[in-house]
Amino acid sequence: MIKSSFAAVAGPRTRVLVLGSLPGEASLRAAEYYAHPANHFWRLMAAVTGRDLVGQPYAARLGTLLDAGVGLWDVIGAARRAGSLDAQIRDHTPNALGAFIETLPALRAIGFNGRKASDIGRRQLGADPGPVLVTLPSSSPAHAVPVARKQAEWMRLKAFLGPGE
């Protein structure tokens, strides 16, 4: 089955862009980024931004992220995939990341949510895309790493949310 990414969530004040691979089944059903209740994304980003994201409705979460300078998108525009695992992604069509990041004047860093997103995204962006590229452990519950260890890595994004040059 062909699955597609959501629209990007970003704006002119976006300093950090978090890129996943492709929404999983729970996210596609809910039409929301990181909708699976066991996914650690919202908890990790709450720690990074210092703002409540877990207790808010979805639309408010997105607004809070944008207000904090964080944007969301996926490296894959569409692909064949059975289930939700990145390992099952086949025949993918990438999103136009290079053109997109050119529309984000404040962008300082791109955080790749997992190895698959990093591999695909780095290939698309090339050797020197401008923003700092950070590969993060996947927020997915399928990535069996303690959440405290994930959080320590994700906290690297915090430095890019501070005052700009």
CA-to-CA distance for 124 and 94, rounded, in angstroms?
8
Verify whether residue 113 is a known catalytic residue: no
Which is catalytic among the residues 39, 95, 113, 139?
39
Bridge partners (DSSP) listed for residue 78: 4, 93
Bridge partners (DSSP) listed for residue 80: 2, 90
CA-to-CA distance for 104 and 12, rounded, in angstroms?
5
Q: Contact at 8 Å (CB) between 66 and 10?
A: yes
CA-to-CA distance for 74 and 147, rounded, in angstroms?
22
Q: Could you tell me the two tokens for 80?
A: 């064949």
Residues designated catalytic = 39
